[in-house]
Amino acid sequence: MEEDIGQDFLVIGRQFSISKDGILYFVDFKNHSVVKKFAPSKDEVGEKFIDLKEWLNEDEHNDLQIDDLWIDPLGRLILAESTTGKILRISPDARKMENLADSYDGYRFSTIAGLTGSPSGDLFIGSPNSATVYRHDLTLGKLFVLNEDLVRSNDMLIDSTGSRLLVAESGPNRVVVYDLNCSGNLSYGWNLVEFPKGQAKPLSIDFLNNEENLLAVLLDRGKKLQILDLRGGKLLKSIVLPFPCQKIRSHGRWIYMQTRKGIRRIKIPTDLITR
């Protein structure tokens, strides 16, 4: 059951996140230290939100590199910068920057794959090189290791209650769930969905249209999108994409996608919205 679908090109950009009111924050395609913001219904190219070079001391041998973005419920931009290893929080007016974390147990963060947060304000940071998901406790201002097992994240998301964290991993190819309300700091993951070996590597995940029983999974080197009914335990749709993607995010009636040439979006199939 495969379906081809149309596309809508938005803006030339890289890593991105979407605020609750539909504003797109994305890393500039050429200057990887610049974050721009874009309103699909108003803008044409987007405007500069912040340039990290104006705030951070740049390594003379390495350029600044933003690995991931997330917008918290208060409209603050959270980003992971891998050259300095910093997890930064930026105010909605881009006038205040806070360094939330840059290392754990003396070791500086490097590649970050997966960055999200809970309604209570806790952050979750995926470090595939160390096979670890870190939890940043907002109240204590400290980092903790979340996973008791090994998990090399590609992407992650959290449910609306803040009680479960979903992590997309390749090798093994699966979406694994961590219960966040368990006693103690450590949590052992359980498999929500398993995929065959080979090209079926889950690169990115998101719930569709705020329906937490509908999970979109980006697979097959970013060329296929599967829509899973978690409540019914079945595959609803398999969509062949007209371009390879690295990341997906859903907002309203659209699925936004990061491609090699920019950020695009496709409409969520009508039969899924009206379910």
CA–CA separation, 154 and 186 (whole Å): 20
The rounded distance, in Å, linking the Cα atoms of 169 and 111 is: 15
Is 210 in contact with 234 (CB distance < 8 Å)? no
Which residues, 6 or more positions from 237, have their beta carbon under 8 angstroms from its beta carbon?
1, 3, 225, 226, 227, 269, 272
If you count them, how many residues does the chain have?
275
Residue 70 near residue 113 (C-beta atoms within 8 A): no
Q: What is the pLDDT of residues 14-34, one digit of tens each?
A: 999 999 999 999 999 999 999
What is the DSSP pairing of strand 115-117 with strand 204-208? unpaired
Residue 53: phi and psi, rounded to 5, are -65, -25
Please tell me whether residue 53 adopts helix, strand or coil conformation: helix
What's the pLDDT tens digit per position in 185-205?
788 899 999 998 877 899 999
Residue-level pLDDT at 197: 86
Instruction: Kindly report, residue by residue over 27-56, the tens digit of the pLDDT.
Output: 999 999 999 999 877 666 789 999 999 998
- Tell whether the model's pLDDT for residue 248 goes beyond 90: yes
**Six-digit token pair at 207?**
């719930």
Average pLDDT over residues 128-135: 94
175 pLDDT more than 80: yes
Question: Over the chain, what is the mean pLDDT?
Answer: 89
C-alpha atoms less than 13 angstroms from C-alpha of 225 in its C-beta half-sphere: 32
Pick the CATH number of 2-273 from 3.90.1580.10, 2.120.10.30, 3.10.20.600, 3.40.50.800: 2.120.10.30
Domain boundaries, the chain: 2-273
- SS3 state at 272: helix
- Check residue 229 and give its pLDDT: 93
Sign of CA dihedral 130, 190, 145, 215: positive
